[in-house]
Amino acid sequence: MSGGSTQTTQQVQLPQYMEDLSKYATEQAMKGSQIGFVPYIGPDVAAFTPMQQAAFDGTNMAASAYGMPTAATTGLPQPTTYANGMQGYSSYPLYQQSLASLQKANPTQYGLLAGYSAGMPTK
Amino acid sequence: MMTPTQTTQPVMAQPNVFGTSSGALNTGVGTATGVAGYQPMMVTPGSMNTQAYMNPYQQQVTDVTMQQMADQQAQAMNTLDAQASAAGAFGGSRHGVAMGESMGQYADAQANALANLNYSGYTNAQNMAMQGALANQQAGLAGAGLNLNAANTLGNLSNLGFGQGMAINNQQMTQGAQIQAMNQALIDASKAQYAGFTGQPAQSLAMLLGGAQVPTGSTTTGSQTYNPGLFDFLSLGMSF
C-alpha cells in the first residue's frame, strides 16, 4: 500500500543501571513509608543531681529554722535510672497517655493516623 | 552511686547553721527588747536608804564625847571651887553665880557637840547613800549597755551564720546544676544518635533519589514507517 509516511519520534531511554536504581529506590521508599513514626523512648531530661537535692534540703532546713513553709519534695516524679546509672525523665509515658486520650476522644482520627504508623501503640 | 534523694551527711556533728542563726537572732531580739524596756534607777532622796549608811558606832562616839565634856566640866567646877575657897567665897553667892555660869556654858557646849556629831553622822550617811545609789544606777546602765552589745553581736553572728549557710547552699546548687547539665548533654547526644538511627531510612532514600537523577543526553533517535488512516486525512482537511 502506497501513500505511507515516515514519522520521526524521540524517546528517553534510561540506561539499565538507572532503571534498576529507580526501581530499587521506589521499593525502598515504599518500605520506608511503612515504618511510620518512631517515638523516642529514652530519657529526655536529666534528673536533679544529689548535690542539687542537698541544696534543696538545705533550703528547707533554712526555711524550717526561720519558721517558714517548707516543701517536702520537688513535686517531680521519681526519675528512671538508665543503663549507665544516669537518672532522668522520659516524655514517652506522657506521649503514650496523649495517644490514649486521642484514641478515646476521637477514635476515627486516631485510627487513620495509626494506619500511617506501623509501630504506633494500639492502646 | 547515690540516688537523687540521698545526701551526704556532715562529717562532724555540726549543728544546723540555720538553726544556730535563728536561735541567735531570737536571743538577740529578746535581749534587745529587754534593753529597750530598761528603766534606769531614779536617784531621789526617797529612794535612798540613808539609815543603812548611819555609823553603827555613832552612839558610842557621842557617849565618849559627852563623857569627856562632863569630865572637863567636873574639872572646871573643881577649879572654880578651889578658887572660891582660896578667896573665902566658897558657898557664897558669887561662887554660886560662877558655878551656874560654868555649868550653863558646858551644857551649851555639850548640846552643840551633840548636834554637830549627829549632823555630821547623818550628812555622811546621806553622802554614802547617794554614792551607793549612783553606783547602782551606773551599774545598771553599764549592764544594759553590755546587754545591748550582746544583742548586736548575736544579730551579727546570726547574719554571719545565715550567710555562710546560704553560700554553701548556693554552691551546692551551682555544682549540682553543672553535673545535671553534663547529664543533659549526654542525653542529648544519645538522642541525636537515636535520631540518626531512626532517620536512616529517609537518609538512605534521599541518597538513592539523588543518585537516580536522569542524566542529560540520554535521548535516542529512531524512525518508523507510519501509514496514515482516515482520521489523518480528516484532520488534514480541518487544518485548511
Asked if pLDDT for residue B143 goes beyond 90, the answer is yes
Q: One-letter amino acid identity for A30?
A: M
Q: What is the pLDDT of residue B46?
A: 79
Q: What is the pLDDT of residue B1?
A: 46
Query: Using one digit for the tens of pLDDT, what is the confidence trace for B210-236?
Result: 876 655 545 555 555 556 665 555 555
Average pLDDT, chain A: 87
Q: Which residue of chain A comes nearest to B213, CA vs CA?
A: A18
- Closest CB to A66: pick one of B8, B22, B190: B22
Asked if pLDDT for residue A94 goes beyond 80, the answer is yes
How would residue A54 be classed by pLDDT, with cut points 50, 70 and 90?
A: very high
Asked if pLDDT for residue A104 goes beyond 70, the answer is yes
Residue linked to cell 569630865 = B71
Per the DSSP assignment, residues forming a β-bridge with A84 are none
Residue linked to cell 554614802 = B128
Q: What is the pLDDT of residue A15?
A: 86
Q: What is the pLDDT of residue A9?
A: 81
Q: How would DSSP label each residue in chain B?
A: ---TT--PPPSS-PPPHHHHHHHHHHHHHHHHHHHHT--PPP--GGG--GGGGS-TTHHHHHHHHHHHHHHHHHHHHHHHHHHHHHTT-TTSHHHHHHHHHHHHHHHHHHHHHHHHHHHHHHHHHHHHHHHHHHHHHHHHHHHHHHHHHHHHHHHHHHHHHHHHHHHHHHHHHHHHHHHHHHHHHHHHHHHHHHHHHHTHHHHHHHHHHHHTPPPSS-EEEEEEEE---HHHHHHHHHT-
Q: Which residue of chain B comes nearest to A29, CA vs CA?
A: B205
Contact B211 A21 (CB under 8 A): yes
Query: Using one digit for the tens of pLDDT, what is the confidence trace for B103-140?
Result: 999 999 999 999 999 999 999 999 999 999 999 999 99
Mean pLDDT of A34-61: 93
Contact A61 B2 (CB under 8 A): no
Mean pLDDT of B65-76: 93
Mean pLDDT of A31-39: 87
What is the Cα–Cα distance from A89 to A111, expressed in whole angstroms? 29
| CB neighbours of residue B159 within 10 Å | 13
Asked if pLDDT for residue B21 goes beyond 90, the answer is yes
Asked if pLDDT for residue A7 goes beyond 90, the answer is no
Mean pLDDT of A82-104: 94
- The answer to whether B208 and A24 are in contact (CB under 8 A) is yes
What is the Cα–Cα distance from A62 to A35, expressed in whole angstroms? 54
- Hey, which residues 59-118 in chain A have their CB within 8 Å of chain B? 59, 61-62, 64-67, 79, 81, 84-88
- Closest CB to B219: pick one of A10, A65, A86: A10
Asked if pLDDT for residue B18 goes beyond 70, the answer is yes
- The answer to whether B218 and A12 are in contact (CB under 8 A) is yes
Asked if pLDDT for residue A123 goes beyond 60, the answer is no
Average pLDDT, chain B: 86
Mean pLDDT of B31-36: 95
- Angle subtended at Cα B238 by Cα B235 and Cα B240, rounded to the nearest 5 degrees: 125
Predicted complex ipTM: 0.79
What's the gap in Å between the CA of B41 and the closest CA on chain A? 37
Mean pLDDT of B12-32: 92
Chain B touched by A10 (CB under 8 Å):
yes
How would residue B2 be classed by pLDDT, with cut points 50, 70 and 90?
A: very low
**DSSP state letter for A21:** H
Asked if pLDDT for residue A35 goes beyond 90, the answer is no
